[in-house]
Amino acid sequence: MLDEKYTIEDLHIGLKSKKFSAVEVVEKFLERIEEKDKNIFSYLLIDKEGALAQAREIDARLSKNLDFRELEGVPMAIKDNILVKDLRCTAGSKILENFMAPYDATVIKKLKEAGAIILGKTNLDEFAMGSSTENSAFGVTHNPYDFDRVPGGSSGGSAAATASFQCMGALGSDTGGSIRQPASFCGVVGMRPTYGRISRFGVIAMASSLDQVGPFGNSVADVRKFFNVLSGQDELDSTTVPKNTQPEVRKKDKDGVLKIGLPKEYFSDKLHPQVRKKMDEAIEIFKKMGAEIKEISLPTTDMSLATYYILVPAEVSANLARYDGVRYGYSSGAGNLIENYLKTRKNGFGKEVRRRIFLGTYVLSAGYYDAYYLKAQKVRTKIIEDFKRSFSEVDFLLTPITPTPAFKIGEMTKDPLAMYLSDIFTVPTSVAGLPAISVPFGKVDYENKNLPFGVQIISRWFDEDNLLDLAEKFEQFSKI
Amino acid sequence: MSNEINKDEVRRIAQLANIGLDEDETAKLQKEMESVLEYVGTLKEMNTDNTQPTSHTINLVNVSRKDAGILSGPRKNLQSIEQGKFLDQAPEKHKEFFKTHPIFVSKK
């Protein structure tokens, strides 16, 4: 059994019946990483000793018949912008190349307490800025389905590791689609919970009003298990909400029929014909599940990306001001204060990070604040109102995750704006703080390749339980 | 709002951001920033006269605690981390302090 993909439930049956030990499971994963990651490069760091030590502890617990925890023995990979105590945490940046995490992020503490085993840290676009994992200072991650293509990003390492079963699940972070888009490109399940559901304490900040942590898995059931462990209020992150926070119920057309909205702006001619065809198949499946399909309109969709690319650089420029070469991280060692700032930040940050800091500094600078940042915050309100209106009519929204499947390595790197545009279907929900999930739905013929593809289901704020229920049902029906 | 940035403005932004900039990078950055600013500038077409700005997407309640000088569990745990785990990572330190270049320099 250890040679093929299995679920947490399978793993737990095996561990409980002593078919295999936690140490054997970890050894098998380490072997698999050794064999597969040469071609994929999903891991930046593998904590062999730490993972085996955790596994031995779990085996000791099992032999003593201590209570069996939710994620007992589940080998996981962690995006390298999340702190794991005493492991290096680079954020994919030269400026943090040698930074050792002094403590665990709250999400890591929760995973460890639930019995999960941490195998290592995964590659990402520098400070999670990118859509392809090509912006990492330490190398490019390859898509497990075609090594010439990107795994998506910025959580590309976590998605690729989960897809190639070099871990059973992984953590990523999603600011504008950084969990959902790589999940779609790599054919795994990836979820962005509602803003505030999961603590970000110990997660390296990119754009604080949008950043959210979320899980990857090979099935919706596994992702639900991760989500249940990760969610909840944390006093170390004052933006988190109590675990029992409930969604608002639909007011209009309250008739008990599941209503799914198709925002027409997501089905324009920007969509690749093969993706369009696949979406039609997905819609048929939802109809078979008894859903009523309704075309709706989100007129602010086109404005969302522009809003996002004002808000994010602005917040980035503020958040990354802390990398000054004085307290931790890389320092140029230049002779005076200002020279040291200038050199440290020029040499330490990569191109995309610098570009965003410049843009953010510009839109926040005197004379431009009202025209850009304040304007974007107002449009943000309009975007939220748009979604609220649609959720008074339907329960969920169904959209593609991206206009095309995975693109080729190097294809988008020359034009930053083209790369930004690939996030067009994931950004609006991020701007509104909504939860959304990417569920794999077979393959698409694209550029003579057969590539994974995911559908996006978006729910109301804090409606993750129903979102996961629907996603799981869709997953089952799509296999029939 | 005009989306044109001249090179001097790019240099000024680099200075504000405390990031060094080579002269040959300036022209490229000017072009890239212009293209992104032109794109995000489309927002001005939207009427937002009676719209309040959003800084947070969910309704948050202010979190406060009693000013009692007593730390809760998670905060206490943080405070008990060995100082060396932070300080030893500093590029330069002096005893138990971070060391930095002087901020005020006297003119002799």
Residue-wise pLDDT for B31-89, tens only, equals 999 999 999 999 999 999 999 999 888 877 777 777 877 777 888 888 889 999 999 99
Q: A142-160: buried (b, 16+ CB within 10 Å) or exposed (e) per residue?
A: bbbbbeebbbbbbbbbbbb
Closest CA to A401 of A349, A436, A360, A352: A436
A354 touches chain B (CB under 8 A): yes
Contact partners, residue A73, CB within 8 Å, separation at least 6: A11, A12, A15, A22, A25, A55, A58, A115, A117
Residue-wise pLDDT for A34-45, tens only, equals 999 999 999 999
Contact partners, residue A267, CB within 8 Å, separation at least 6: A276, A279, A399
Residue-wise pLDDT for A311-329, tens only, equals 999 999 999 999 999 999 9
**Structure ipTM:** 0.93
Q: Is B80 within the bounds of a domain?
A: no
CB-nearest partner of A235 from B17, B55, B72: B72
Contact B81 A325 (CB under 8 A): no
Distance CA A405, CA A150 (A): 10
- Catalytic: A21? no
Q: Has residue B1 got a pLDDT over 50?
A: no
> Which amino acid is located at A422 in the chain?
S
Between A263-277, A343-357, A386-400, A458-472, the lowest mean confidence (pLDDT) is in A263-277
Q: A26-40: buried (b, 16+ CB within 10 Å) or exposed (e) per residue?
A: bbbbbebbeebbeeb
Q: Please give the average per-residue pLDDT across A445-454, as a whole number.
A: 95
Residue-wise pLDDT for A204-261, tens only, equals 999 999 999 999 999 999 999 999 999 999 999 999 999 999 998 766 666 788 999 9
Contact A354 B19 (CB under 8 A): yes
Question: How many distinct structural domains can be found in chain B?
Answer: 1
Annotated catalytic residue within A93, A154, A155, A199: A154
Contact A340 B101 (CB under 8 A): yes
Q: Is B30 within the bounds of a domain?
A: yes
Q: Is B57 within the bounds of a domain?
A: no
- Catalytic: A79? yes
Question: What are the boundaries of each domain within chain A?
Answer: 8-230
CA of A32 to nearest chain B CA: how many angstroms apart?
A: 33
B14 touches chain A (CB under 8 A): yes
Q: Is B36 within the bounds of a domain?
A: yes
Closest-CA residue of chain A to B71:
A235
Q: Is B74 within the bounds of a domain?
A: no
Q: Please give the average per-residue pLDDT across B10-35, as a whole number.
A: 94
- Catalytic: A178? yes
Strand order in the sheet with A189-192: A43-46, A117-122, A75-79, A169-174, A212-217, A189-192, A436-446, A449-459, A396-400, A259-263, A292-296
Distance CA A38, CA A289 (A): 42
Contact partners, residue A453, CB within 8 Å, separation at least 6: A184, A187, A275, A278, A400, A401, A405, A440, A441, A442, A443, A444
* pLDDT for residue B4: 76
Residue-wise pLDDT for A155-168, tens only, equals 999 999 999 999 99
Of A2 and A338, the one with more pLDDT: A338
| Gap between the terminal Cα atoms of chain A | 24
The H or E element spanning position A451 is strand A449-459
CB-nearest partner of A325 from B10, B32, B91: B91
Distance CA A181, CA A174 (A): 9
**What value does the mean pLDDT of chain A take?**
95
* pLDDT for residue B3: 62
Annotated catalytic residue within A79, A94, A110, A278: A79
Distance CA A12, CA A7 (A): 9
Between A183-187, A255-259, A295-299, the lowest mean confidence (pLDDT) is in A255-259
A366 touches chain B (CB under 8 A): no
Parent domain of B12: 7-45
Of A417 and A239, the one with more pLDDT: A239
> Which amino acid is located at A161 in the chain?
A
CATH of domain A8-230: 3.90.1300.10
What residues of chain B, 29 to 48, have a C-beta less than 8 Å from chain A?
Answer: 29, 32-33, 35-37, 39-44, 46, 48
Please report residues of A whose CB lies closer than 8 A to that of B40: 306-307, 309-310, 363, 372, 376
Q: Please give the model's pTM, rounded to 2 decimal places.
A: 0.96
Between A86-100, A433-447, B42-56, B61-75, the lowest mean confidence (pLDDT) is in B61-75
* pLDDT for residue A448: 94
* pLDDT for residue A432: 97
CB-based contact A153:A108 (threshold 8 Å): no
Please report residues of B whose CB lies closer than 8 A to that of A382: 46, 48, 51
* pLDDT for residue A252: 62
Closest CA to A180 of A460, A391, A452: A452
* pLDDT for residue B2: 54
* pLDDT for residue B58: 86
CB-nearest partner of B20 from A321, A343, A357: A343
Q: Is B98 within the bounds of a domain?
A: no
Size of interface A-B (CB pairs under 8 A): 175
Contact B54 A241 (CB under 8 A): no
Please report residues of B whose CB lies closer than 8 A to that of A335: 101
Q: Is B75 within the bounds of a domain?
A: no
Please report residues of B whose CB lies closer than 8 A to that of A346: 19-21
